[in-house]
Amino acid sequence: MKKQRAEAISFANGGGRQTQKDPVLWNDWHVLARSSDLLPGTVLKVRLLDQDLVLWRGQDTQILAWDDRCPHRSVRLSRGTVVENTLICSYHGLVYDQTGRCIKVPAHPEYVPPPQACVLTYQVREQYGLVFVCLGQPEQTIVPFPEWEDPNYRTFLCGPYPCRTNGLRAIENFLDAAHFPFTHTGILGDPEKPTLENYEVTTDEQGVRLHNVRVWQPDPAGIGQADYVTYDYQVLRPLTAYLRKHMLDGQILTILDLVTPVKEDECISWMLFAVNYEIADEDARAFQETIILQDVANLESHHPQQLPLDMLTEFHIPCDRGSLAYRQWLKKLGLTYGVLF
């Protein structure tokens, strides 16, 4: 009997096994869509941390995030239909209001649904033209990106960039300048100039910082002008990192990389991109997409996909000090999802 009940609970939580909740990621904000993907009346199926969710927007423009499961017979609510500010299940026509409560059962017009006739709901925020969802209780605000509102910068929303890789591996790749000459040849690096100078790393309660990462790049700004550039990186959350690239003549490029953990071996990157120089919108997005696509083959080939926090599983070279600090910080946070010990 106990085994049957455990299996039922597992199924009700979204599949064949019950996902172990990692409080570090469960209580953080994650991007699931562009705001523009959810016009009034839209229903969108998404996945976060192995959980199937449904996003929908009623006619009053509020976006809602729910467990993608009708509590009546467990079909997917993402197959449902929005009518005004309610979501109607496709199976028996049960009507749910914006709080997630069932308010109407067509087969029994006078029936009052019981308290358990309620969908599991999650907190939602819209910022930067993106939809953020937290599965637990958010312990921090959404990470700030000051350049987004700074009139001295031109800003772009780039992505989504799906990748069959671990999200932590994607962030570590974002911090790794040593791969530029070989993965991004002719743009961010040159195999004839692979030397990576020493740089500083600091870790505190705000996260991990890499200072003065200096490299040669044939086309650092996407405008065809070679230069030695300097990067400063910050890892602000386990799956959120920021870079600021200083180039010739005071040109600055900044990126906030927001990585969504779909599951342990699949993620989606969303990037806020800001520059203080002239570049066409389509050129900026094409430049970033080229870089991301060049990374995919390596990222998807990691074996194991999980990020090792045992420092002996992989060997390290001097320029890995940034990724080592990142792994040590994750271990200190107590992260358990997507890692190996």
The amino acid sitting at 200 is E
Name residue, tokens 């300097």. 230
pLDDT at residue 16 above 70? no
The pLDDT assigned to 3 comes to: 34
285, 272 in Cβ contact below 8 A? no
102, 86 in Cβ contact below 8 A? no
Q: How much is the pTM? A: 0.92
Taking the C-alpha atoms of residue 267 and residue 47, their distance in angstroms, rounded to an integer, is 10
CATH number of 146-340: 3.90.380.10
- Mean pLDDT score, 241-248: 96
What is the CATH topology of the domain spanning 2-134? Rieske Iron-sulfur Protein (2.102.10)
More confident residue, 256 or 222: 256
The amino acid sitting at 30 is H
Percent of the chain clearing pLDDT 90 (strictly above): 88
H/E segment holding residue 30: strand 30-34
- pLDDT band of residue 20 (cuts 50, 70, 90) is low
Question: Whose CA is closest to 67, among 22, 141, 133?
Answer: 133
The pLDDT assigned to 243 comes to: 98
Taking the C-alpha atoms of residue 78 and residue 31, their distance in angstroms, rounded to an integer, is 18
Domain ranges of the chain: 2-134, 146-340
The amino acid sitting at 287 is F
Angle at 21 between CA 15 and CA 26, to 5 degrees: 115
H/E segment holding residue 292: helix 281-300
Q: How many CB atoms lie within 10 A of CB 58?
A: 19
pLDDT at residue 293 above 90? yes
Taking the C-alpha atoms of residue 186 and residue 287, their distance in angstroms, rounded to an integer, is 12
Write down how long the chain is. Answer: 341
pLDDT in tens, 164-204: 999 999 999 999 999 999 999 999 999 999 999 899 999 99
Which residues have C-beta within 8 Å of that of residue 163, sequence separation ≥ 6?
Answer: 170, 266, 267, 268, 269, 295, 296, 299, 300
